[in-house]
Structure 1
Amino acid sequence: MASPSALRARLTEINEEMDALKARLRLLAIERRKVIGDLDCIVYPVLTLPPEITSEIFSHYVLDPHLGRPRTSTPSRGPFALAGVCQSWRDICFSTPCLWASLRIHPDQAWVADDFFHLKCCLQRAENHPLDLHVSACEPRSTLPMQIYSILSHYVPQIRAFTFSLDTPFSFPNEEIGGRVPLLTKLTVNITAKNNTPVMVTAFRDAPRLREVCLSGASLRWISLPWIQLTHLEYSDETVPSCLQVLEETPNLEVLDVSLARSHSDWVVVTARYLTLPRLHTLRFSYDP
């Protein structure tokens, strides 16, 4: 063991080192406060933009926002990412309705109450802005589409573009998405009904602004639309007689895109029929017997 004099000498050294470290800490604390003050004085240009300019920039950033898991990997940039950056951006996002007005909804069995809550929040934040909505198909015999359409039914007057897909045959919920659709300009219907079972779609007959319709797998015999006012029509997987029957009711068509996949015998019953589309300027036609 060291002598008492050696221990006292070592204690003195330790006290001196501690005093030096405390002095160093005080100097570092002073420098730290100065650096923080200098940082607080810096003005970031992105945070000094007027809110209306920032919201315009945000509107160009937002791309294909969706709820749920899409079946294909598509890029998605929604307003939630922007709202999570800082309080200022959060306030701008929540006060910019157009950021929430476009939404792709992908229901699946993993959906929980929070998903429906987020859907309602998005629609509420859109306020009175026109809505562009896409509802993907769900599992057969699932009640999720009915629940989603029930929520969307409160926003029917705002729907501008509507795409929906059905994997299971049933009449489209006219009682949910029914009545007048005053802002609807574009409608896309994708149906993969099993065993050729009819899927009746009758919910969009009173849509005064509807001009563009895209149909895939939706037999023209199963859907009722205001054909006469359409200027753009796309459909596939349909018989020739059914196509001609509808085209006779669409004199204002400007764009027609037809893809047929039926037996060649379909042509026999239409060889003597004529069709006039005086405003048509674009025609895309494919036939694969």
Structure 2
Amino acid sequence: MQLHTTLCHECGASVTASTTLTSLASSIEEENIREAIAADETSIRSFEGHITSMQKTLNDLRSQRAILAKALAQKRMLAAPISRLPFEILAIILAQVILSDFDSTPDSSLISQHPVLLACQRWRDTVQATPEIWVNIRLHPHFDGRWCDTLIECIQRSGALPLDIHLSHATPPRWDAAHGTFTFREVVPEEQWRAVEKALLDSAPRWRCMHLGMVHPPRWLVTRIRNLPTLTDLELDRAYQHIGGRNEVALFKDAPALTRARLSYMRLSDISLPWPQLTHLHIVLGARMGFEFFIVALRNCSSLISLALTMDHRDLREGHRPISLPNVQSLALRDGGVQILYLLKAPQTREIHLSSTDDERRYDFSEHLDMLHAFGACDTVMAASVTKLSLAVVTPGPSWGINLMRVYTGLTSLRVVDLTEDRHYEMLHVLAVLGRHQQLLPRLKRVLLPKLNIAGLDVAILRQVAETRAEHCALEELEVRRIKCVPELLTCLREAGMTVYARRPAALRRPPKESKQLGAEHARLEWDSDMLSDEESTGDVSEGGDESNPFAELERESSEEENNWDESEEEVSDWDDDWEEEVDEEEGDVEVPGVSEDVEDSNSEEGSESEEEDEFDAYGGNESDESERMRLGAATLMLLGLMQAADDID
């Protein structure tokens, strides 16, 4: 048998072999068979050699084909529109992509892991050469073991741009499994501070914002930082372990551009700041944190425009001279910080926010409202110029609304949040007063009651507000949490020129862009969010919490209540119908508390405790409905009482 294979058709190179096929060998043919075996083995080795050579040739061809395919892909990529973008345009696009993700998860350690850096070498080089991406440095030294490497990288890649440095462990980083895990450390190792020493000292002249949140840099590092010519914003949150102490640290005194300072639980006697040049000051002052020094510092804040103050309760009516802040336009006072109104002389005030914890045993909000009333009564010109008032109240009593409205007559925006759980009496009181006393707040354009649910008899109160305000002033906007839609009511509101916003129903929700702007406005006015406790007063403060929004907890509660309301919406509807039927049975022809004079007379005659109990029991049912009967009965009595209280004040 002859075998033949052509290796090259051009030169004719080939490989040949011959063999014989036998079925059974005789004794005479055995010698010939041995020779044939040897010849076949030689031919096989020859074929294997040629196969190896050809395989090498094929591998070379495949490798060269891969190179050509890569070159072709690169040429096609170069022909794509995005590859023809100038470096500057590409940098803007990539920066926008990375920074949009950074806004939702502000952590500089995640920038180097962003997917755009893995797309191609050009994109990676572009990101690394774009300083704007690296200037906002946010790290968690107590959680991230490689924070010092990231800090150095960000400072180096930021070029000569101003730096915003945020080092905090108030909240852990929001990493997911794809970005690794973290382990909390009580103390940041000193060798890591040594590693970042040169980078921090060299970049100090570029600091624009410095935020230390429960992070304590060593004193040897702090005392070496002097010249801060571009520092405009300073935030120190419980960072007094090394920055403060028995010896005053003038770290931020040489900061000619510093205008904003936020100090939370810092010993003010141990920190030197350029107080006269500050325009925005936020202080959370715990016990033994230098109150007397704060008073002295506040007297020097002649340029102050915005003041936010939270502190423990203390009586400031005696022993202190008045404090003149001639340029202050915004006041945000919480808990004992409201006491500062006894001392302030602020003729340019335009916005006031008061809030209190929900612990009535510690802070009596009725006293706070009395202070606010006295603050305005002492300077009626200033009080008439206040345009925005925001109150987070704890059921201060039925007369507070009218008393304040008679002093702060120039209000254009009024916001009230009732901190009392499962009650919205104070917000209903606001509506009742506005509907009944049309001469009050003639310039009022916006009423925000973000925790108020309007249903049943409340709808009639809202209708009265719309009708009376349409005749006497230009009330343009009302915001509540939920409103039971009644077509006639919505028609009435539209005819009155009012826009009503609510979370429910969805058709009444505020546009997202407008809602975001309004939220930012409230966040600015309501700067302080911390709750003052005994542990916080001594500096041992628990972690967590939203440090920028004082109503974060309230919003979470509202969200939970909204979910509960949605789950029982059918039950609420039945409750409204039953409530209206029972009120009709009890009160006869009563229409709405605060509208019918007959109701006022009948209510004044039913003042005894026993009669109130009988009226309460009239919301019959079995024992399983006792909590609902209590709620309905108390709400009805409250509505009737609001009207009577308003008449008594008149």
TM-score (norm 1): 0.71
Distance 1:286 1:184, change over 3 A: same
Shift of residue 165, structure 1, vs aligned partner: 2.9
Aligned match of 1:78: 111
Give 1:276 shift.
1.5
What residue identity is the alignment partner of 1:139?
A: E
Alignment of structure 1 residues 110-121 onto 2, 5 Å: 111=145, 116-121=148-153
Q: Partner letter of residue 243 of structure 1? A: F
Question: Corresponding residue for 1:231?
Answer: 279
Matched, 1:264 2:314: yes
In structure 1, what is the Cα distance between the partners aligned to 2:266 and 2:81? 52
- For residue 172 of structure 1, report the CA deviation from its aligned partner: 7.5
Contact 1:228 1:250 in 2 (8 A): yes
Output aligned runs, 1:115-264, within 5 Å: 116-137=148-169, 139-140=186-187, 142-143=189-190, 146-147=193-194, 148-166=196-214, 171=219, 173-177=221-225, 179-191=226-238, 198=245, 201-238=249-286, 241-260=292-311, 262-264=312-314
* Distance across 1 between alignment mates of 2:149 and 2:143: 16
Shift of 1:169: 9.4
Alpha-carbon contact 1:220-1:242 (below 8 Å) kept = yes
Could you tell me how far apart the structure 2 residues matched to 1:280 and 1:227 are? 14
Residue 56 (str. 1) matches residue 92 (str. 2):
yes
Residue 38 of structure 1: CA displacement?
Answer: 7.8
User: Following the alignment from structure 1 to structure 2, what is the Cα–Cα distance between the partners of residues 191 and 65?
Assistant: 29
* Conservation of the 8 A alpha-carbon contact between 2:135 and 2:154: yes
What one-letter code is carried by the residue in structure 2 that aligns with 1:259?
A: T
Structure 1: state its 5+ residue gaps: 5-28, 67-72
Q: 1:213 offset after TM fit, Å?
A: 0.7
Instruction: Tell me how far apart the structure 2 counterparts of residues 263 and 241 of structure 1 sit (CA, whole Å).
Output: 14
2:235–2:262: 8 Å Cα contact kept in structure 1?
yes
Match of 1:95 among 115, 129, 149: 129
Cα separation, 1, equivalents of 2:69 and 2:157 = 42
Question: Aligned partners of 2:206, 2:70: CA distance in 1, in Å?
Answer: 51
Task: Note closer, same or farther for the CA distance 1:268–1:56 as it changes in structure 2 (3 Å cut).
Answer: same
Structure 1 vs Structure 2 CA RMSD: 4.0
- Quick check: 1:102–1:132 contact (8 Å CA) kept in 2? yes
Give the Cα separation in 2 of the matches to 1:119 and 1:170. Answer: 17
- The structure with the greater share of residues assigned to helix is 2
Q: Residue 220 of structure 1: CA displacement? A: 1.5
Query: Which residue identity does 1:255 align to in structure 2?
Result: S
AA aligned to 2:205 is: P
Q: Does 1:107 align with 2:158?
A: no
Q: Deviations over 1:92-135 (max 9, x none)?
A: 122211212111122237626xx534432321111211111112
Larger radius of gyration: 2
Q: Secondary structure at the match of 1:264?
A: coil
The amino acid across from 2:85 in the alignment is: L
Greater Cα offset, 94-103 or 75-84: 75-84
Q: 1:193 to 1:145 in 2, by over 3 A?
A: farther
TM-score by length of 2: 0.34
Instruction: Determine the C-alpha separation between the residues in 2 that align with 1:141 and 1:132.
Output: 21
Distance 2:124 2:80 in 1: 17
1:254–1:279 CA contact under 8 A, matched in 2: yes
| 5+ long unaligned stretches in structure 2 | 1-20, 22-61, 170-184, 337-361, 363-650
Matched to 2:135, the amino acid is A
Cα-to-partner distance string for 1:153-198 (whole Å, 9 max, x where unaligned): 1211111111113456974743332x2101111111111668xx83
Q: Distance in 2 between matches of 1:38 and 1:169?
A: 51
- Where 1:218 maps in the other structure, the secondary structure is coil
State the secondary structure of the residue aligned to 1:62: helix
Q: 1:45-99: per-residue Cα shift (whole Å, max 9, x none)?
A: 3322221112122332333999xxxxxx945462552333211112212221121
Q: 1:135 to 1:35 in 2, by over 3 A?
A: closer
Instruction: Give 3-state SS (helix, strand or coil) of 1:188's partner.
Output: strand
**Percent of counterpart pairs with the same letter?**
27
